[in-house]
Amino acid sequence: MKEPIHKLLIILIVALLILGGLSFIPWSTISGGKLHDYNLLSDILISSPDSLEKETPEEENDMDPELLKIMLNDSAKNEVKEYMAPGYMDSVETPSTSIIPDSVKIQPIKEGDLVVLEDYTVTQQGLRYLKTAIGSGTLARIGVVGDSYIEGDIMVQNLREMLQDRFGGNGVGYMNLYSDFPGFRQSVRQGGKGWEVHDFKKGKKNYIGVMQHYFTPEGNATALYKGVNKFGHLDKWDNSRFLFISPENAVIKTRVGGNNEWVLHNITGSTDVQEIYLSSPTDRFEIETSSPGIIGLGVWLDGNNGISLDCMSSRGFSGISLADIDESLTSKLSQYISYDLIILEFGINAMSAKQKDYSVYGRK
């Protein structure tokens, strides 16, 4: 039996009144910014530019704490400069700056209106190391360091596939020892447990490299990596590598392939970076250790030649922490892992509605 038309109208009117009432509730304030305010009539009302500016809520400052601290320090220094006596800087000699005329500036590579590649280096040879490695037939390693925009190998996995299609190579390159959401990444199957994660925000600076993370065992720690077929060249790889620091003697077990025996590695304590390197084509690599003093730096799954593309992502990364990476650690890592090109991806964690000056990046 059909409902009388007046009952349907009443239901419709009541629903509109409820929605209209909800649009007056300050959802953003109540939820701490997790929910947005909305207006039922916002799509049909014409707002003036002034009203739009007033309606825009002030964003909370969610920048990288390291970037915020540096900016505050710079602000304090600028305030000191303002109180210097007039004419003080006039007596200070400044070195002359060489300016390259626009007439000799090398133009970026273009395809139509699309800028394919713009080299900002003075010598215009920013890709010489990568080109040399590819031309020599050795392994050319590229590192992509970024924020959560590339988390889970997003975007990087497609770039890796295209480069390995063109220049050869296999494997995903760098892998962390533990992930809270291992299934999120589609370019490798990752498992394991028992690792504490230390990032660039809270970890000890002398263990923070370009990867921006390191890992320490909690009890019996394991790590597992398996190849996948969702992207090209990732079902198998030629070499498995585990880099770590072990200040004290330790025991680490590794295994390649699911049916092979575990290999026992008795590690002599040292403050230097050490390596377990297994050169054997495989689709599976496992690590296990109960030694509490180990500082795990990462795992690399690579081919013998072609392209290796490492995805190193960190939530909240603004790029500024790269200025503080430990040079000694970087030098020691380069004995085993050296990069021919590093791509930096960041921005969202450095932006704020109140922040207008980003000159700190130029000074760093």
Amino acid, res. 48: S
Residue for token pair 């059909």:
2
Instruction: Centre a 10 Å sphere on the Cβ of residue 250 and count the other Cβ atoms it contains.
Output: 20
d(CA 52, CA 93): 49
Two structure tokens written together for 270: 């040292």
Per-residue confidence in pLDDT tens, the chain, 364 aa: 455 777 778 888 888 788 777 777 776 566 554 555 656 655 444 444 343 343 333 444 455 566 666 655 655 445 434 444 444 334 434 344 444 444 445 666 777 888 777 787 888 888 999 999 999 999 999 999 988 888 899 999 999 999 999 999 999 999 999 998 888 899 999 999 999 999 877 778 889 888 888 999 999 999 999 999 999 999 999 999 999 999 999 999 999 998 889 999 999 999 999 999 999 999 999 999 999 999 999 999 999 999 999 999 877 667 676 777 888 999 999 999 999 999 988 777 666 666 667 676 666 6
Res 100: pLDDT:
42
Which structural domains are found in the chain, ordered by start?
Answer: 5-55 (no CATH), 102-363 (2.60.120.1360)
Res 58: pLDDT:
42
DSSP code of residue 56: S
226-249: b (≥16 Cβ within 10 Å) or e:
ebeeebebbeebbbbbbbbbbeee
d(CA 130, CA 120): 16
Two structure tokens written together for 247: 């200040």
Least Cα distance to 291 among 363, 187, 213, 218 occurs for: 218
Res 17: pLDDT:
82
Do residues 237 and 256 make contact, with C-beta atoms less than 8 angstroms apart? no
